[in-house]
A and B are shown apart, each in its own frame.
Chain A
């Protein structure tokens, strides 16, 4: 399998009036052709910033990649100029945004918005571009594509619009599709349809997908691998079954506990107490310390060494350190003290 993307130790920060927000603090992952990586985590943990920095769509000059490396098909694109990026965006890497109601320009026809990218990048004639657009609309399941091309976004439902957004993203046949919460704004039945569409498209085009979500239901459906983010770091990552059946990090466990389950009707949902740390001055140790039921002194002082549970599964947590076994009993701090 071909490696499409490799992100090494990515740091992204924003300078604001209040100081520097360290939104992403050393994120690394890789992604292969035809694979779907889900990035999950609570709101504000840096999922969107990570995704946006891959195609350099973070607001400049406030936001910047302060460290790290992004390799796309073995090419270092971290410091590509705007002009160089333009030849990658939409062609090699495409992006889908959360809210299909706002992602389409209300004053331009669907046809125009579908074809403008492919016309610019591939120099297609209007007629060829239109044919391609019709083909794409067929692929994403929009009936009567020919007529529909003439119409404006407000003439489509939310689910239809997201299909159109997906068609726009795929029209230049990218190798990587970044979908930032593509189903969050849709109702459940439409959500399922859109996820099925992703699967179908991936089967057909072998595109690699980064799927950002905080919905484990979505993850369960289409992810191959999962990266769990917290306070700008990936704190656990593994294959889908490893994360679902053998979660290691207390945070991951907490997230999984907070999903409603159909088979356990009476069980209460357990949200994780507390809030994520302030990213202006993130803690030096494990950022989850303050909310962790198993926190130890070491957690607060030093960021955990990586524990490799398997070849594909790692976790950044002191609980799995060899040495902890001997000190657990003495040093565990009750959670209350951190509140």
Chain B
């Protein structure tokens, strides 16, 4: 187990390094710089050169690259170019908790409702409830979250006025963004749960569980669901990544002061330290999540061993 974690740790570092390098190459290759905003009165050439020197942007790319790697290694991305009063770490500290809240809330809602819907559909296979659940699922998969978000705002916030339109202040404010972000993953989870549940229900061990005289609750929850959730856990990593990026869009629509606004803004403004910091931070976060997913997988399925390869 310990060896496995060490191995995963080095893999993670390697992955982050690759992501950081790719991001760096992309930043270098897109035209523009943080200081060529025409509307900015102060940006005469002398000032610009000074600034570039300050942020090491006058150095050759290789040197800049070394500086970047150093900032990643120390996890100190320095101050933002465009918001001189904030360091990147401060921006992350302010924005990420809100994004995290939205993301985790959405994943939890998606998991619970998706699994419930999927199990219900499987148990009522080919009945009205099944068809209804699957219609919801297809809609959920095919409607993009920003369209759904707009619809929700229009109907529930503007027309009916039962929920706030935007921002992130009270639980009521969280309802619409969470629904908008959770619906897609929920639909995917529901469909997957249904099909894997249907398959599991035909297995011999389910028949055996029934032959023991167990209650339907035990047969379904204890014997069937645990096995049926295996494929769901497998795609959880992908879903998490989707939700993570989804938060950027949803935050923009609902004017939520999460990490999304800073990130999008930083790309538009070529605010290199913020782009770099956010990308590396999010990569690290996602890698951690995927690791947790793998651990969960090992807990659910005893046949999968979470330790070194040679095993027994």
Are A and B part of the same complex?
Answer: yes
Min CB–CB distance B177 → chain A (angstroms): 35
Q: Which residues of B contact A90 (CB under 8 A)?
A: 211-214
Is the C-beta of B13 less than 8 angstroms from some C-beta in chain A? no
A117 touches B213 (CB 8 A): yes
Total B residues in contact with A, Cβ cutoff 8 Å: 22
A73 at interface, CB cutoff 8 A: no
Contact B204 A103 (CB under 8 A): yes
> A108 touching B222 by the CB < 8 A rule?
yes
Which of A103, A105, A117 is the one whose CB lies under 8 Å from B227? A105
Structural contact, A120 and B213, CB atoms closer than 8 A: yes
CA gap between A105 and B225 in the complex, in Å:
11
- 28 cross-chain CB contacts under 8 A: A57-B210, A85-B213, A86-B213, A87-B213, A89-B211, A94-B211, A95-B208, A97-B207, A97-B208, A98-B204, A102-B203, A102-B204, A103-B205, A103-B208, A105-B208, A105-B223, A106-B302, A107-B226, A107-B227, A107-B301, A108-B226, A109-B302, A117-B214, A121-B213, A152-B303, A165-B208, A168-B208, A168-B212
Choice from B207, B213, B227 contacting A106 with Cβ under 8 Å: B227
B307 interfacial by beta-carbon distance below 8 Å: no
Cβ contact within 8 Å between A106 and B301: yes
In the complex formed, the residue of A with least CB distance to B224 is A105
Asked whether B218 lies within 8 Å of A120 as measured between CB atoms, the reply is yes
Interface size on A, as a range, is 20 to 34
Known contacts A107-B301, A116-B218, A120-B218; 7 further A-B pairs (Cβ under 8 A): A90-B212, A90-B213, A95-B208, A102-B204, A105-B209, A108-B222, A109-B302
Is B39 on the interface with A (CB-CB < 8 A)?
no
Q: Would you call A116 and B211 a contact (CB within 8 A)?
A: no
Interface of B is mostly: helix
Tell me whether A89 and B205 are in contact (CB under 8 A).
no
For B223, give its contact among A102, A108, A152 (CB under 8 Å): A108
Q: Is A55 positioned at the interface, with any CB of B under 8 Å from its CB? A: yes
- Chain A residues near B170 (CB, 8 Å)? none
- In angstroms, how far is the closest chain A Cβ from the Cβ of B133? 20
Query: How long is the Cα–Cα vector from A232 to B98 in the complex, in angstroms?
Result: 66
Chain B CB within 10 A, most for which of A55, A85, A107, A116: A107
Residues of chain B with a CB closer than 8 A to A106's CB: 205, 227, 301-303
B215 at the interface (CB under 8 A from A): yes
Q: Judging by beta carbons under 8 Å apart, are B215 and A120 in contact? A: yes
Please name all residues of chain A whose beta carbon is closer than 8 Å to the beta carbon of B301 when the two chains form the complex.
Answer: 106-107
The chain A residue sitting closest to B312, CB to CB, is A155
Which A residues are CB-close (under 8 A) to B18?
none
Task: Give Cα A98 to B204, complex, Å.
Answer: 9
Q: Does A91 contact B (CB under 8 A)?
A: yes
